Amino acid sequence: MRVLTVVGARPQFVKSFPVSRALAPDHEEVLVHTGQHYDEELSAVFFDDLDLDQPDYNLGVGSHTHAVQTAQIMERLDPIVAREAPDVLLLYGDTNSTVAGALVGANRDVTVAHVEAGLRSGTRSMPEETNRIVTDHVADVLCTPCRAATETLEREGLGDRVHETGDVMYDALRWAERIARDESAVLDRLGLDESFVLATVHRPRNTDDPDRLAAIVEALVTHPAPVVFPVHPRTAAALRDQGLFETVQSELHCIDPVGYLDFVRLLDAADRVVTDSGGVQKEAFFLETPCVTLREETEWDETVAEGWNRLVGARTTAIRDALATPVDATDRGHPYGDGDAAERVVEVIADG
Ligand code: UD1
Ligand code: UDP
């Protein structure tokens, strides 16, 4: 089987690598990086950390409006799909790179497979929600990470395309957890020898709304323990625009975004994580690090139902309360599979 994989944003490098490893022995893979993320710390560092082959193509699209970014990926990807003539076009998650790949594949003679299918947050104002819905309805093969995602697709009339493979992020995390503990020097490098909170923020709903961003910053800067804050470039720009950058820099332990192994080490060692990331909510759950989510809803309801994740939105008091409240959770369950999702994805797509 010849597979053409499209990735472009940070979480997609993490999601694709277990599948690339599972494909390697028996199948051919052409890797296309759209260039949606291009800074070293959002892109190259993952290829080093995960020992990934360099992409066969980099479309170099860079940052634009959603429409322009999606359109440019489509325009540059289409001739590559035509030339490479893959059997399967493999897509991950819900970014503009994902939906652009789905729309290109829909009009070419190729099986489109979507990994992490069936997730919904119910918020159509998020571009990711539109990307997920369009991609799921266009794709031929839908690999879901959990039961709820399968049921969602069944309700949408797509049940005959669904395969519940489990979550490839769990495979990635299981691989990274031990290596990160053995090899990452991030705790020493940052001088972290006491308990700390890890924070990540990058959703436009939080960064681009001055009230929400100010409320989040207020909760973090007044937290009594150190807060380690790897700052996404979108967030750095918003903090500067809103005059909050200096406060955040002086009160928090701000760092550039870190590679996957360092991030997993930080998340494992942290007392809590405060985040609006989708992937980080789940990784926190896998590592049993209590999570405080800066959103009103989540695609990952299981993490909330099992008591490891609290949705607090962007209200200062709610964030503070959640950080101060002990977690009422015991050993977590396995709603996202057993860590063999990548092999199952490969079996499913190889079966056609
Ligand atoms: C994108 C995805 C989001 C995902 C996130 C992962 C969409 C609609 N959004 O959001 O689902 O959670 O990636 O991190 O696809 N920038 C840089 N350097 C880079 C990349 C971006 O400075 O390498 C800055 C640019 O100013 C850019 C902004 O960050 O405008 C946002 O980048 P973009 O890729 O558009 O969206 P993300 O917020 O990263
Ligand atoms: N991550 C990382 N370094 C960081 C922040 C996040 O390696 O400084 C990883 C994290 O472990 C997870 C992924 O990036 O695998 C999540 O990406 P992000 O939060 O940007 O996107 P989302 O999951 O919300 O789409």
Q: What would the pLDDT profile of 138-174 be if each residue is shown by its tens digit?
A: 999 999 999 999 999 999 999 999 999 999 999 999 9
Specify whether 217 is located in the same domain as 307.
yes
Indicate the pLDDT class of residue 73, thresholds 50, 70 and 90. Answer: very high
Instruction: Answer yes or no: is 283 within a domain.
Output: yes
pLDDT band (50, 70, 90) for residue 334: very high
Q: What is the pLDDT of residues 258-267, one digit of tens each?
A: 999 999 999 9
Band (pLDDT 50/70/90 cuts) for residue 328 is: confident
Question: Which of 6, 37, 239 to mutate to test ligand 1, by most ligand atoms within 8 A of the CB atom?
Answer: 37
Bridge partners of 144, per DSSP, are: 164
352 CA distance to ligand 2 middle (Å): 31
Q: What are the DSSP calls for 150-184, one per residue?
A: HHHHHHTT-GGGEEE---HHHHHHHHHHHHHHHH-
The complex scores an ipTM of 0.98
Please report the atom of ligand 1 found closest to the CA of residue 207.
Answer: 38
Task: Catalogue the long-range contacts made by 307-313 (C-beta closer than 8 Å, 24 or more residues apart).
Answer: 308/284, 308/332, 309/281, 309/284, 309/285
Instruction: Let me know if 207 is exposed, middle or buried by CB neighbors in 10 A (0-12, 13-18, 19+).
Output: buried
pLDDT of residue 330: 78
Which residue's alpha carbon is at the smallest distance from atom 19 of ligand 2? Answer: 277
The domain in which residue 94 lies consists of 2-167+337-350
Does residue 19 sit in the same domain as residue 136?
A: yes
Mean pLDDT over 30-55 rounds to 96
Token look-up 């829909």 returns 106
Q: Tell me: pLDDT of 13 over 80.
A: yes
Instruction: Assess if residue 27 is contained within a domain.
Output: yes
Task: Assess whether 126 and 187 both reside in one domain.
Answer: no
- Please enumerate in sequence order all residues whose Cβ is within 8 A of that of 119, keeping only pairs 6 or more positions apart, or say none: 94, 132, 145, 149, 152, 299, 300
Q: In this structure, are residues 308 and 314 in contact, taking their beta carbons and an 8 Å threshold?
A: no
- Percentage of the chain beyond pLDDT 70 is 100
**pLDDT tens-digit map of 99-137:** 999 999 999 999 999 999 999 999 988 999 999 999 999
Pair 291, 344 in one domain: no
In a domain, 261, yes or no: yes
53 and 88 belong to one structural domain: yes
pLDDT reading at 247 higher than 80: yes
Do 161 and 188 sit in the same domain of this protein?
no
- Quote the number of domains for the chain: 2
Residues 13 and 144 in one domain: yes
Give me the pLDDT at residue 261, please.
97
In a domain, residue 330? The reply is no
Domain check: are 311 and 343 in the same one? no
Q: Please tell me the predicted confidence (pLDDT) of residue 331.
A: 79
Q: Are residues 25 and 145 in the same domain?
A: yes
Assigned domain for 286 exists: yes
In a domain, 173, yes or no: no
- Do 20 and 158 lie in a common domain? yes
Q: Which residue has the tokens 């897509």?
A: 91
Q: Is 66 a catalytic residue?
A: no
- Residue 233 predicted with pLDDT over 90: yes
Considering only CA atoms, which of 60, 80, 104, 54 is closest in space to residue 2? 80
Residue 197 domain flag: yes
**Is residue 352 pLDDT above 80, yes or no?**
no
What's residue 332's pLDDT? 86
Cα angle 4, 346, 153 (rounded to 5 degrees) comes to 90
Q: Which residues lie across from 253 on neighbouring strands?
A: 228
Confidence of residue 329 (pLDDT cuts 50, 70, 90): confident
Task: Please check whether residue 173 is in contact with residue 159, taking contact to mean a CB–CB distance below 8 angstroms.
Answer: no
Comparing 54 with 331, which gets the higher pLDDT?
A: 54
Residues in contact with ligand 2 (CB, 6 Å cut-off)? 10-11, 14, 200, 202, 230, 257-260, 263, 277-280, 283
Do residues 89 and 12 both lie within one domain?
yes
**Exposure class string for 262-300: b at 16+ Cβ within 10 A, else e:** bbbbbbbbbebbbbbbbbbbbbbbbbebbbbbbbeebbb
Ligand 1 contacts (CB < 6 A) are 9-11, 36-39, 42, 63, 66, 94-96, 127-128, 202, 233-234, 237
Mean pLDDT of 206-216: 98
DSSP 41: G
Quick check: 72 pLDDT over 90? yes
| 80 and 149 part of one domain | yes
> The domain spanning residue 268 has which CATH number?
3.40.50.2000
